[in-house]
Structure 1
Amino acid sequence: MDIKRVGIIGAGKVGIVLAGLALKAGYEVRISGSGAVDKIDLTIKTLVPGAIASENADVVANSDIIILAIPLSRYKNIDPALLKGKLVIDAMNYWWETDGIREEVLDPNSTSSEQVQAYFKDTTIVKAFNHMGYHNLQEEARPAGDPKRKALFVTGDDHEAVDEVAHFVDTMGFDQVIHYNLADGIMTEPGSPLFGASLKHNELKRVIDNFDRTEFGRQIAASKQA
């Protein structure tokens, strides 16, 4: 796929930052918010001049790749048919302050991205852009080869799609640590050592290689009981 047009669903802090990075990388960018276009149009023109404020349907129809950057609790507000056949980056996380009680949003038996993929069953989901804070995403994007360049984790079940997203991440200013298992997205969820981290490639890989999924599961369970 030759990605030239980027669509972002979500005009919050992460969506705005990613729109800015995509514009800087030379992509055509469309972005939608939770309300009518006129509610976000001035914000978009002010914060990311050059991006096109639009509605979800127009964003999807006129983009080669879609980024979901909305509160996780709201992904089911989107009709699954809208994203049918699309390559979609899941940049969402569960966050209690915006999403409420975890058990009302997520099944505890699988990761958030697996549940997003199950809902958008005719869509290809790749997890990326979710573990680094939006300030770091904005301030630390650098060209390939820069010794201070940071890395992002990219994972999904479709090898070709993961490779495509990894290339996209590269153009956005970050190295990549790549896995081919969407369930590995648990390594980036809130509470994990990776969440909120801004690391170089070798540092990020070390954290991932040492990640103990069983122990992380115990910690999550303990936090629910506390």
Structure 2
Amino acid sequence: MKIGIIGAGNIGGNLTRRLTALGHDVSVANSRGPETLAALVEETGATPVKVQDAARGAEVVVVTVPLKAVPNLPSGLLDEAADGVVVIDTGNYYPQQRDGRIAAIEDDGLTESRWTAQQIGHTVIKAFNGTYAQDILDRPRPAGAPDRVALPVAGDDEAAKRVVRALIDELGFDTVDAGGLDDSWRQQPGTPVYGLAEGTAAVTKALAEASPERPAGHRA
């Protein structure tokens, strides 16, 4: 597939490494410009682009930037994407550590991914937000392996969710359907599944045990 990755930090960089290795056509962008991506491009063969060009022709777009940066993404970001483009949101709200106070999340109770979807004007699939970046490189396993890690995946668009779950399977991980975007609080920071590197049974159990009350450490 043609995949655009916006954000070349730990998650974005390692997804670039793995997805290019699997043969996907990957374009990658960051806020500092294509020229700063030379090392990653040389390593992976991905195409460096400006943020406004990252989604051009893409069937899948991965948004993996700090939450506070989402409103600053270019308007019309997805205008030239492929029809039916699937957008993956890996983001997390860290108000005390990084993002500051976002009223719609704090006061209105929006899930982080619902807020992101509103900002970019396109529904998203929440995935990889609680995954250790190094696990993307170190933990892939073949289907059926007893130590295969499962990732929760939430979203409202069932067809898009199927695309994402198939891509994650190709990357070497199982998935658990975590419901719609309004259910995605179950995989936000501070929940039992966040950072959990276990199989489908443990992930399913952790999602069920989550509390909708945001922990104090993850409130502004």
- What TM-score, normalized to structure 2? 0.88
C-alpha distance in structure 1 between counterparts of 2:148 and 2:52, whole Å: 35
Question: Paired residue for 2:117?
Answer: 117
2:55 match: secondary structure = helix
Question: Following TM superposition, by how much is the alpha carbon of 1:138 offset from its aligned partner in structure 2, in angstroms?
Answer: 2.0
- Which segments of 5 or more consecutive residues in structure 2 lack a partner in the other structure? none
Contact kept in structure 2, 1:111 and 1:183, CA below 8 Å:
yes
C-alpha distance in structure 1 between counterparts of 2:137 and 2:104, whole Å: 28
Q: Is 1:17–2:49 an aligned residue pair?
A: no
Q: Is 1:179–2:174 an aligned residue pair?
A: no
Residue identity in the other structure for 1:35: R
Q: Is 1:128–2:152 an aligned residue pair?
A: no
2:76 match: secondary structure = helix
| Structure 1 or 2: more helix by fraction | 1
C-alpha distance in structure 2 between counterparts of 1:223 and 1:99, whole Å: 11
C-alpha distance in structure 1 between counterparts of 2:156 and 2:102, whole Å: 25
Question: Paired residue for 2:162?
Answer: 163
Farther-moved stretch of structure 1 (109-118 vs 83-92)? 83-92
Question: Paired residue for 1:77?
Answer: 72
Change (3 A) 1:31 1:223: closer
C-alpha distance in structure 2 between counterparts of 1:43 and 1:94, whole Å: 29
Question: Following TM superposition, by how much is the alpha carbon of 1:223 offset from its aligned partner in structure 2, in angstroms?
Answer: 6.5
Contact kept in structure 2, 1:86 and 1:124, CA below 8 Å:
no
Contact kept in structure 1, 2:191 and 2:211, CA below 8 Å:
no
C-alpha distance in structure 2 between counterparts of 1:83 and 1:186, whole Å: 25
- Which segments of 5 or more consecutive residues in structure 1 lack a partner in the other structure? none
Change (3 A) 1:106 1:142: same
Question: Paired residue for 2:148?
Answer: 149
Farther-moved stretch of structure 1 (150-159 vs 190-199)? 190-199
Question: Following TM superposition, by how much is the alpha carbon of 1:173 offset from its aligned partner in structure 2, in angstroms?
Answer: 1.3
Residue identity in the other structure for 2:17: G
1:195 match: secondary structure = coil
**In the comparison of the two structures, how many residue pairs are matched?**
215
Farther-moved stretch of structure 1 (11-20 vs 72-81)? 72-81
Question: Paired residue for 1:45?
Answer: 41
1:88 match: secondary structure = strand
- What TM-score, normalized to structure 1? 0.86
Over the aligned positions, Cα root-mean-square deviation in angstroms equals: 2.2
Question: Following TM superposition, by how much is the alpha carbon of 1:180 offset from its aligned partner in structure 2, in angstroms?
Answer: 3.4
